[in-house]
Amino acid sequence: MKTLVIAEKPDMGRTIAAVIEPKAKNNRTYLEGDRYIITWAIGHLLGLAEPDAYDEKYKRWNFGDLPILPERFKIVPNPRTKDQLKTIGELSKRCDKVVNACDAGREGQYIFALIQQQLKLTQPVQRLWISDLTAESIAQGFEKLRDGAEFDNLTSAARARSEADWLVGMNASRAFTTKHRTLLSVGRVQTPVLALIYDRQKEIENFDSLTYYEIKALFEQGDRRYTGSWQGERLTDKDRAAAIADKVRGKQGRIAEYEVKDTREYPYRLYDLTLLQREANAKYGYSAKKTLDLAQALYEKHKVITYPRTSSNYVTEQNIDGMHKALHMLKSTPYKELAEGGNPGIVNVNNKSVCNPSRVEDHHAILPTLRRPGALGKEEQNIYDLVVRRFLSHFYPPAEYKQHTVLTEVEGETFKTNVKELRSLGWKVCLPGEDNAGKTSGRGKKQEEDDEAEELVSEPFTIDRNAPVRCAEAEAKEKATQPPKAYTEGTLLKAMESAGKQLENEELREAMKEAGLGTPATRAATIERLKKVGYITMQGKRITVTQKGRTAIELIRHAGVELLTSPEMTGHWERRLHQISKGEAAREAFMENVKRFTISIIEKVRTQPKADASLFEPGEAEKGKRGRAAGGRKSAAAKDTGGRKAAGDKPAGAARRSAASGPGGLQPLAPCPREGCGGQLIEGRKGYGCTHFKQGCGFVIWKEFAGKQISLPMLNALLEKGQTQLLTFKQPDGEMKARIRLADRSTGKLEVERAASPTV
């Protein structure tokens, strides 16, 4: 009997076969050699069954049938790949051992577990656990195959993640959809991502631009000319700014301070998938999905880069030799000059910016392989170029600069000058085009956004600190504060990756430190999903939330299940799933908690008022964009997953809410608590007020109180419980724990109630 090897994808299977059975016969859907039969899944061959697999009644979406809580989850084959599943089943009958060669990670483990379950495989299972598909790694991996039972806990965590997502997604989507008569897709990852976009757009819309004045002066000292920025509080008085400029113009000054220090800039981190997607979006405008598809082609089809669906920016000790060999290979490619200029000695096991095994969980950073690139398409070449240049940069020394900081004083006014003098480009020679000329490479985003701009020069810069200077020119320029920038796919990917960093709970923050919202492999699909269901649309590179997307977030938050819109739930889940994967927590207890949460969602949506259909209608600007999109082609957002028209495509005629209305807009948040009023609370720019204000109701809760911003969840707590949860207030003598309390339900007056000291 032979051993059956099951890889995750065809190209992976063939790559493995080339190492362990180089003379294997190719039978299209599998390869067979003397000892091994190598076959493959095609991603997920199986998935969790739809609700109607449990009961025919679930074919119709009916609120009264919720919640749907299967006692045991059923799995069903993917109809498009059922033939491959059948092939694996037939091959398994000829083998007495099985090797799980799916991706080394939670999802790869799950793909194999479902195949094993469906086909009722009883053979002993061994696990191939490697982080790349080099011949050396595959050979070593097969020499050190691990017992499949070692990964049972990881399988449990994978099942729990999948089934929990099903429970929340299926039930919440059906609840909100049937309640509001519009297809509303809800999910653990997609909903917090939509909330990120929504909140950013509200920040932009509610932004009040402030006009201020910046004073720039040109100084001369002999042949040296340099500029400086006036130092002081932000000037909003035009006349005062002009007076300062007039005061110093043409006057003599002195060097009050002059500091010079040497600085170094080290290469940027090696690419993980998210970082590669972000850079490709910024440089080429590629969507996250397009970059993933191109990288996957470079890996599977051309075999010129390592596994791209990685979340690591580092390598292990075992990769160092391969990196040196890849450097040598690149000497016979168009990268010859850069490769020959690299120093192999810099990339070693002690270089922690490259080699950090503790930061490599499933797969190492994306690297070029030893295969020379053949005929790559232009877009494939662009992605390969990014990977190669980033790789080569680590074989070069840091870029070196002299940082000059000058404070010039004229007529009692101080001006600051920052000059960055380039001494050596170092690794920046690997940057393409003008990037390595020093025009942009010396300035990070932070400096670009600072008022005190940094001037980058390549010629030596010197100032005589003891000689006088003359203010040759001074000018007050009008400026305006800028709103936050709308998300692009690149910046949204970064926000998804770092979503947990804003959580106050340290344990949850730690749990999400390496995870964020989604995984590198699923983030692109999440963004595409939001487009498909009509929640977001693209304006060039900018992502805009549609009216349907706005209303979806508002309804979820107002229903009292705002946890669905927060990364906090993912933090809770990731912490528990990690414990399950380590055998430190029970899968059953986790699933019971998820079921309780699912039931609570249904109960809260049950009591929610039905939203008016007009709240899902697109605004005029949005309709215009849809009509023009893709030369008149119907937008992908115009259809839901069931093929029905989404609410955004209903005939015009219903009253529409302005796309620029505040969070909640005319959407009622809660009944006014003032006795006998009968009005509804809605959200304004500065507070939450009553719709009956014209009839004399003065109830209002201001958004800012005692140094705290009253958020929608805090508002709900004040109205329902009369107080918020325990908050931390900063006092002159330290921190104080207290709650904000609704002191008067007729006016909305608030007060701070200090928490009682704990008794011993």
Under DSSP, the state recorded for 652 is S
Pairing of strands 399-410, 36-40: unpaired
Taking only the tens place, the pLDDT of each residue in 215-274 is 999 999 999 999 999 999 999 999 999 999 999 999 999 999 999 999 999 999 999 999
Query: 211-266+399-480 domain in CATH 1.10.1530.10?
Result: no
Q: Quick one: which of 540, 520, 60 has its CA closest to 311?
A: 520
Does residue 734 or residue 311 have the better pLDDT?
311
Q: What percent of the chain has pLDDT over 90?
A: 66
What are the extents of the domains in the chain?
Answer: 2-144, 161-205+488-616, 211-266+399-480, 273-394, 668-754
Taking the CB of residue 150, how many other CB atoms lie within 10 A of it?
A: 11
Q: What percent of the chain has pLDDT over 70?
A: 88
**pLDDT at position 406 over 70:** yes
Query: Which positions are annotated as active-site residues?
Result: 307
In this prediction, residue 617 carries a pLDDT of: 82
Band (635; pLDDT cuts 50, 70, 90): very low
In this prediction, residue 453 carries a pLDDT of: 67
Query: Amino acid identity of 114?
Result: L
In this prediction, residue 392 carries a pLDDT of: 98
Compute the CA torsion angle 553, 205, 627, 190 (nearest 10 deg).
-30
Pairing of strands 700-702, 704-705: unpaired
In this prediction, residue 697 carries a pLDDT of: 82
Under DSSP, the state recorded for 271 is P
Query: Partners of 728 in the beta sheet?
Result: 737
Query: Amino acid identity of 579?
Result: Q
Distance CA 379, CA 367 (A): 18
Taking only the tens place, the pLDDT of each residue in 463-488 is 999 999 999 999 999 999 999 999 99
Band (504; pLDDT cuts 50, 70, 90): low
Band (642; pLDDT cuts 50, 70, 90): very low
Query: Tokens 């009944």 correspond to what residue?
Result: 671
Taking the CB of residue 557, how many other CB atoms lie within 10 A of it?
A: 24
Distance CA 138, CA 20 (A): 8
Q: Quick one: which of 151, 198, 51, 110 has its CA closest to 522?
A: 110
In this prediction, residue 513 carries a pLDDT of: 59
CATH of 161-205+488-616, one of 3.50.50.60, 3.30.390.30, 3.40.47.10, 1.10.460.10: 1.10.460.10
Taking only the tens place, the pLDDT of each residue in 7-45 is 998 988 998 999 999 999 999 999 999 999 999 999 899
Distance CA 225, CA 469 (A): 10
Q: Quick one: which of 332, 371, 365 has its CA closest to 347?
A: 365
Q: Which of 170-179, 211-220, 485-494, 563-572 has the lowest mean pLDDT?
A: 563-572
The predicted model scores a pTM of 0.75
Taking only the tens place, the pLDDT of each residue in 444-467 is 344 334 445 678 898 999 999 999
Taking the CB of residue 82, how many other CB atoms lie within 10 A of it?
A: 13
Q: Report the top-level CATH class of 2-144.
A: alpha beta
Band (681; pLDDT cuts 50, 70, 90): confident
- Total residue length of the chain: 760
CATH of 273-394, one of 1.10.290.10, 1.20.120.420, 3.30.70.580, 3.50.50.60: 1.10.290.10
Q: Where are the beta strands (DSSP E) in 277-361?
A: none
Instruction: Give the list of residues 6+ apart from residue 67 with CB closer than 8 angstroms, or none.
Output: 167, 171, 595, 598, 599, 601, 602
Average of per-residue pLDDT values in the chain = 87
Taking the CB of residue 720, how many other CB atoms lie within 10 A of it?
A: 12
Q: Quick one: which of 303, 323, 308 has its CA closest to 376?
A: 303
